[in-house]
């Protein structure tokens, strides 16, 4: 089993941290604001802090694990198991689509017949080398 953390773009890190800090501070400010009823402020605090927690959970736990029989992609509460035998093509790409990648420099993995997922391992070359060993039938494009 080999575990790879996700590469994280600095600009995206700044957005995540500023957004989360804003949610935490705004939640407290709404709770102590005299113009907002206490129950409403408490509900907003719970929603804002819950959102901040969820974002940080995903931000801190995104990883790609090369198991014996499959690639496991983890981010927050989400998991994808992709059997190596189902991986058809892997190629490098740069895009901004929503995915299990925390960087715009990504690997595009085609699996099954029409499925596609983006990942961004920190040690990309080592990840690709190990994935090639496990997926001899897949095509790898640079």
pLDDT of residue 142: 75
Which phi-psi region, left, alpha or beta, contains residue 76 (left: φ > 0; alpha: ψ -120 to 50)? left
Q: Which domain holds residue 68?
A: 1-142
Q: What percent of the chain has pLDDT over 70?
A: 100
SS3 string, the chain, reads: CEEEEECECHHHHHHHHHHHHHHHHHHHHHHHCCCCCHHHHHHHHHHHHHHHHHHHHHHHHCEEEECCCEEEEEECCEEEEEEHHHEEEEEEEECCCCCCCECCEEEEEEECCCEEEEECECCHHHHHHHHHHHCCCCEEEC
Domains identified in the chain, total number: 1
Percentage with pLDDT > 90 across the chain: 92
- Give the strand pairing for 87-94 and 139-141: parallel
Write phi, then psi, for 111 (nearest 5 degrees).
-145, 165
Q: Give tens-digit pLDDT for 31-71.
A: 899 899 999 999 999 999 999 999 999 999 999 999 999 99
Average pLDDT of every residue of the chain = 95
The enclosing domain of 5 has a CATH number of 2.30.29.30
pLDDT tens digits along 14-25: 999 999 999 999
Burial environment of residue 120 by CB neighbours within 10 A (0 to 12, 13 to 18, 19 or more):
buried
Question: What pTM was estimated for this model as a whole?
Answer: 0.89
Tokens of 126: 């080592």
């Amino acid at each position: 089993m080999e575990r790879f953390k996700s590469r994280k773009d600095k600009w995206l890190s700044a957005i995540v941290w500023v957004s989360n800090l804003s949610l935490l501070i705004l939640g407290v400010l709404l709770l102590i604001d005299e113009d907002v009823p206490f129950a409403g402020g408490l509900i907003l605090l719970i929603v804002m802090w819950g959102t901040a927690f969820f974002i940080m959970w995903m931000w801190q736990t995104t990883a790609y694990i090369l198991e014996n029989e499959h690639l496991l992609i983890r981010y927050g509460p989400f998991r994808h198991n992709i059997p190596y035998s189902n991986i058809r093509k892997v190629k490098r790409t740069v895009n901004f689509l929503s995915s299990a990648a925390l960087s715009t420099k990504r690997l595009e993995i085609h699996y099954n017949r029409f499925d596609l997922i983006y990942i961004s391992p920190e040690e990309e070359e080592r990840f690709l080398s190990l994935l090639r060993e496990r997926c001899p039938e897949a095509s790898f494009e640079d």
